[in-house]
Chains A and B, each alone.
Chain A
């Protein structure tokens, strides 16, 4: 069994174990003023499991744009065509939540989360190339501090390993991280500044993180987050939401050089057993979210990928004058890179949240905390599980719907003697 498969089983077991553990462990006993213990939910975040499927259409690789004797032409002729699909399964769970009520009455809180995910990528090329199933496994940590005033601090560390399931000995470890400060100026406006080290654009980048949002998160809003994308989102009734978005998506994964794609021609015959597969898709599409309740979210995205690139890297190729690139800093230079024609894409997924959590009605700082957590997907991925844990904004004219209620629904709100007043 290859390392990738073992890690897949480990991640899955960890997800099941942690979700089981947290369903029964999310209650905190606090003392009330009468000195008795009161059991209230411990965390604001639920243990969440999610899954995301993504697929983008097949395109031909135009070999004629390269010189007939060039190494790029050799690779392009071998690849012929390209199609890509991936599956992500992941989880995050609250490890600890600390809350403090300050002298001025504001409530600050710190959320420490564990994250994990497994990505299985299936790039498909022409008949000369064997099947490669590439995996990326990440187990990370993130901390979010809500000052209770206008500030939110976010830090994420997502170390991951990538490997080719079909080729042993291809495991490579990498490290992605994000640090940012989020200013909630008002419920209708927030901005974010920070720094991100990411591989989600098809290479290793160290970029500033800049973003802003206009409009309420539980209503209609526009959000632009560099390098994570732009979204115009609005509710469709109480349980659905529609968004028009553009976002980059990509990855840097390890692939066995079993098809001799890197043949050392360009670098004094130095062969390489591992090549690095980099891809980038600039998506433009429509998204529908369906949140039947706070425990579940489903979503569907579809549209067109217009700005597309495929790149293959080799460490040997990146040996300038025999010196290796600084593996933690430099951007890799591809031995083969090509822009691709546009193609349609589809993505669908769901998130399941377990256990009871503390109430967050109208707590716009917590809404922002939830949104930050989903915008920056764990494991340096670009999927977004949505904000199903933000309560929908309810218009009072819809109070007429309360006519369908029964005593069971309202027993926590009224008492028997209230009925006789």
Chain B
């Protein structure tokens, strides 16, 4: 059993270094959530209902983005380029439809003023990230 423990531990440590890449993104996600929490000043009851819906919205948005970003961005033929443009259009449509679907859901669990503040808070957080990035050279 001890031999097995060492084998599994070795596998875990190898897996650990592989998983480090995702940790940074998680941290930024957590920062965004903390930023929004501070901006919205939610009550306990609002918080309990709002975050599950918001997380679901973000999961769907991320899935749509991931799908679009997985497409090749070099085009061997005109058809490839046309497919890419169609996919981009679909992605934008999805963003808008998710936006509509979930802002309706947010209005069920938050006062409309806080829903409007949410949009502003997301933009403010983006701005903060951009400010940080602008100081860095392109990769």
Contacts and interface: CB of A to CB of B under 8 A. Distances in A.
Contacts of B55: 358-361, 363
Nearest to A186: B44
Given A362-B33, A366-B52, A413-B28, A293 B130 contact: no
B66 to A, nearest CB: 8
Interface in A226-261: 238
A120 B126 CA distance: 52
A268 interface: no
Contact of B60 (A32, A53, A120): A32
A396 interface: yes
Contacts, number: 188
Nearest to A87: B1
Contacts of B97: 32-34
Among the interface residues A352, A358, A359, which one has the most CB atoms of the partner chain B within 10 A? A359
Interface stretch (A156-164, A171-179, A397-405): A397-405
B48 A394 contact: no
Q: In which size bucket is the chain A interface?
A: 35 or more
Given A105-B109, A361-B51, A407-B139, A402 B15 contact: no
Contacts of B94: 32, 34, 36, 38
Nearest to A391: B30
A407 B64 CA distance: 19
B69 interface: yes
B31 A399 contact: yes
A411 B69 CA distance: 10
A408 B136 CA distance: 12
B64 A51 contact: no
A25 to B, nearest CB: 16
Given A361-B51, A362-B37, A365-B52, A350 B9 contact: yes
Nearest to B99: A33
A414 interface: yes
Given A38-B94, A295-B19, A296-B16, A402 B48 contact: no
Interface of A: 30, 32-34, 36, 38-41, 49, 51, 53, 87, 89, 101, 104-107, 120, 148-150, 184, 186-187, 238, 292-296, 350, 352, 358-366, 391-396, 398-399, 401-403, 405-414, 418-419, 421
List the 9 closest A-B pairs by CB distance, nearest first.
A105-B108, A105-B109, A359-B55, A33-B97, A107-B52, A362-B51, A293-B23, A361-B33, A394-B30
